[in-house]
């Protein structure tokens, strides 16, 4: 008896779809990495990347009402001061992650453009203190 040709075709197509899907999403997604002195080393890729992107977050920064305490030094010595700062909003503020990253920092990176580019999204730290 011969096998069902339609069943063989369906099985072959399904296998091919699974393979194509794995290839399409392989190399895409989030991954942990480490900033080095010359680039970025991803945990799942053996080579260091010298070319990568870093997220910047433009927006409006809102600062709550707060008290700042300190000292002022002068000819008469030091004087304790306490400043009450009102709630304020800073327009067109930007958080520039790249300026705060140092070699050894652990980061979360996302592959984009089919895995051809990498964007560092944030620094990650241990949740245990």
Indicate the pLDDT class of residue 32, thresholds 50, 70 and 90. Answer: very high
Q: Is residue 79 part of a domain?
A: yes
Q: Is residue 128 assigned to a domain?
A: no
- Domain containing 95: what range? 5-123
Give residue 92's pLDDT band: very low, low, confident or very high (50, 70, 90).
confident
- Can you tell me the distance from the alpha carbon of 27 to that of 29, in angstroms, rounded to the nearest whole number? 7
Model confidence at 101: pLDDT above 60: yes
Place of tokens 């300026």: 99
The reply to whether 47 falls in a domain is yes
- In the chain, the percentage of residues whose pLDDT exceeds 70 is 88
pTM: 0.60
Antiparallel, parallel or unpaired: β 117-123 and 53-54: parallel
Round to whole Å and give the CA distance between 115 and 63: 38
Picking from 12-21, 32-41, 49-58, 86-95, which range would have the lowest pLDDT averaged per residue?
12-21
Does the pLDDT value for residue 100 go beyond 90? no
Q: Rounded to 5, what percent of the chain is helix, strand, coil? A: 20, 50, 30
Of the pLDDT bands very low, low, confident and very high (cuts 50, 70, 90), residue 42 is very high
pLDDT confidence of 28, banded at 50, 70, 90? low
User: Number of folded domains in the chain?
Assistant: 1
Beta-strand runs (E) in the chain: 29-35, 40-42, 48-49, 53-54, 56-63, 66-74, 77-85, 88-96, 106-112, 117-123
* Position 29 in a domain: yes
Residue 67 has pLDDT above 70, yes or no: yes
- Is residue 129 a part of any domain in this protein? no
**CA distance linking residue 4 with residue 22, whole number of Å:** 27
Q: Is position 44 within any domain? A: yes
Asked whether residue 55 is domain-assigned, the answer is yes
Domain-embedded: residue 34: yes
- pLDDT averaged over every residue in the chain: 84
């Amino acid at each position: 008896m011969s096998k069902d040709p339609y069943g063989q075709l369906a099985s072959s197509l399904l296998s091919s779809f699974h393979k194509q899907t794995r290839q399409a999403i392989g190399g895409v997604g989030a991954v942990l990495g480490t900033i080095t002195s010359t680039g970025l080393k991803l945990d799942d890729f053996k080579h260091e990347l010298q070319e990568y992107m870093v997220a910047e977050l433009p927006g409006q920064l809102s600062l709550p009402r707060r008290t700042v305490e300190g000292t002022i030094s002068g000819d008469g010595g030091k004087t304790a001061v306490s400043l009450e700062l009102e709630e304020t909003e800073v327009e067109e503020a930007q958080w520039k992650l790249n300026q705060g990253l140092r070699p050894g920092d652990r980061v979360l990176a996302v592959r984009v453009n089919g895995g051809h580019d990498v964007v560092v999204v944030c620094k990650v730290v241990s949740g245990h203190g």
